[in-house]
Chain A
Amino acid sequence: MKSQEYKSFGTALVLLVIAILLPWFVGDFAVTLAVNMAMFTVLATSWALFSGPTHYISLATAAFFGLGTYTTGLGLDHLPYWFLIPLAGVLGALIAGVIGLATLRLSGVYFVIFTLGLAEMTRQIITFVQNATGQKGILISIWFEEATFYWMLVALAALIFLVGWLIGRSRLGFALRIIGDDEEVARHSGINTALSKVLLFMIPGAVAAMTGAIMAPRYGYIEPLIAFTPMLSFQVVIMALLGGTGRLWGPLVGVIPFSILWEFLSASFPNQTTLLLGLSFLVIVYLLPQGFVGLLLKIKARFGGGRGY
Chain B
Amino acid sequence: MDILITGLLLGGTYALIAMGLNLQYGMSRIMNLANGEILVAGGFAAFWFWTAGALSPLLTIFILAPVAFGLNWLIYIIVLRPLVRRAKSRGQLEVDSILTTFGLSFVAVGLMLATFGGDYFSYSYMLTPVEIWGQTYAVNRILAFIAAVVICGVLYLWLNRSRAGMSIRAIAVSPDSSRLVGIDVPRLAALAFALGGAITAVGGALVSTFLTLDASTGVIFTLKALVIVIMGGVGDVRGTIVAALLLGVLETFVARVIDPGLTLAAAYLLFILILLFRPQGLFGRRQS
Give A residues with C-beta under 8 Å from B: 55, 57, 102-103, 106-110, 112-114, 116-117, 120-121, 124-125, 127-128, 131, 230, 234, 237, 241, 271-282, 284-286, 289
CB contacts (< 8 Å) of A112 on chain B: these are 31, 98
Contact with A along B256-273 (1 / 0, CB 8 A): 000101101100100110
Verify A271–B91 contact, CB threshold 8 A: no
Verify A275–B95 contact, CB threshold 8 A: no
Cα distance A69–B26 when bound, in Å? 39
Q: Which residues 85-134 in B have Cβ within 8 Å of A in the complex?
A: 91-92, 94-96, 98-100, 102-111, 113-114
Give B residues with C-beta under 8 Å from A: 31, 82-83, 91-92, 94-96, 98-100, 102-111, 113-114, 216, 219-220, 223, 226-227, 230, 259, 261-262, 264-265, 268, 271-272, 275-276, 279
With CB as the reference atom, state the residue of chain A lying closest to B111. Answer: A275
Tally of A-B Cβ pairs under 8 angstroms: 113
Minimum Cβ distance to chain B for residue A95 (Å): 13
Cα distance A116–B221 when bound, in Å? 13
Minimum Cβ distance to chain A for residue B38 (Å): 14
Cα distance A116–B98 when bound, in Å? 12
| Most chain A C-beta atoms within 10 Å of own C-beta, residue among B104, B227, B265 | B265
Task: Return the contact of B223 from the options A57, A113, A128, A274 (Cβ within 8 A).
Answer: A113
Verify A278–B31 contact, CB threshold 8 A: no
Minimum Cβ distance to chain A for residue B68 (Å): 19
With CB as the reference atom, state the residue of chain B lying closest to A127. Answer: B261
With CB as the reference atom, state the residue of chain A lying closest to B106. Answer: A278
CB contacts (< 8 Å) of B223 on chain A: these are 113, 116-117, 120
Minimum Cβ distance to chain A for residue B225 (Å): 10
Cα distance A55–B95 when bound, in Å? 7
With CB as the reference atom, state the residue of chain A lying closest to B103. Answer: A281
CB contacts (< 8 Å) of B95 on chain A: these are 55, 57, 108
Minimum Cβ distance to chain B for residue A287 (Å): 12
Cα distance A286–B261 when bound, in Å? 38
10 more A-B contacts (CB under 8 A) besides A110-B230, A234-B102? A106-B275, A113-B271, A114-B272, A121-B268, A273-B110, A278-B108, A278-B109, A279-B103, A281-B100, A284-B99
CB contacts (< 8 Å) of A116 on chain B: these are 219, 223
Verify B103–A285 contact, CB threshold 8 A: yes
Verify B102–A106 contact, CB threshold 8 A: no
Cα distance A276–B83 when bound, in Å? 21
Minimum Cβ distance to chain A for residue B100 (Å): 5
Minimum Cβ distance to chain A for residue B44 (Å): 16
Task: Return the contact of B104 from the options A271, A272, A273, A282 (Cβ within 8 A).
Answer: A282
Minimum Cβ distance to chain A for residue B22 (Å): 13
Cα distance A57–B98 when bound, in Å? 9
Verify B276–A124 contact, CB threshold 8 A: no
Minimum Cβ distance to chain B for residue A104 (Å): 11
* A-B contact list, 17 entries, CB within 8 Å: A57-B99, A103-B275, A108-B91, A109-B31, A112-B31, A113-B227, A117-B264, A117-B271, A124-B262, A128-B259, A272-B110, A273-B110, A275-B109, A277-B110, A279-B107, A281-B103, A285-B100
Cα distance A92–B259 when bound, in Å? 27
Verify B262–A114 contact, CB threshold 8 A: no
CB contacts (< 8 Å) of B268 on chain A: these are 117, 121
CB contacts (< 8 Å) of A289 on chain B: these are 96
Cα distance A126–B108 when bound, in Å? 30
CB contacts (< 8 Å) of B109 on chain A: these are 274-275, 278
| Most chain A C-beta atoms within 10 Å of own C-beta, residue among B106, B275, B276 | B106
Given A110-B230, A272-B114, A284-B99, is A128 in contact with B262 using a C-beta cutoff of 8 Å? yes
Verify B264–A281 contact, CB threshold 8 A: no
Cα distance A30–B85 when bound, in Å? 44
Across the A-B interface, give the 8 residue pairs with the lowest CB-CB distance, nearest first.
A275-B110, A278-B106, A281-B103, A278-B107, A282-B103, A274-B110, A121-B268, A278-B103
Verify A113–B265 contact, CB threshold 8 A: no
Cα distance A211–B126 when bound, in Å? 51
Minimum Cβ distance to chain B for residue A168 (Å): 22
CB contacts (< 8 Å) of B100 on chain A: these are 281-282, 285
| Most chain B C-beta atoms within 10 Å of own C-beta, residue among A117, A272, A279 | A117
With CB as the reference atom, state the residue of chain A lying closest to B267. Answer: A117
Minimum Cβ distance to chain A for residue B26 (Å): 12
Given A114-B275, A234-B102, A275-B114, is A124 in contact with B107 using a C-beta cutoff of 8 Å? no
Verify A124–B103 contact, CB threshold 8 A: no
Cα distance A273–B109 when bound, in Å? 10
With CB as the reference atom, state the residue of chain B lying closest to A118. Answer: B268
Cα distance A77–B108 when bound, in Å? 44
With CB as the reference atom, state the residue of chain A lying closest to B107. Answer: A278
Verify B107–A275 contact, CB threshold 8 A: yes
Cα distance A286–B110 when bound, in Å? 20
CB contacts (< 8 Å) of A272 on chain B: these are 110, 114
With CB as the reference atom, state the residue of chain B lying closest to A51. Answer: B95
CB contacts (< 8 Å) of A281 on chain B: these are 99-100, 102-103, 106
Verify B275–A282 contact, CB threshold 8 A: no
Given A55-B91, A125-B265, A127-B261, is A278 in contact with B110 using a C-beta cutoff of 8 Å? yes
With CB as the reference atom, state the residue of chain A lying closest to B224. Answer: A117
Given A274-B113, A275-B107, A285-B103, is A102 in contact with B94 using a C-beta cutoff of 8 Å? no
Cα distance A272–B113 when bound, in Å? 8
Task: Return the contact of A282 from the options B107, B262, B276 (Cβ within 8 A).
Answer: B107
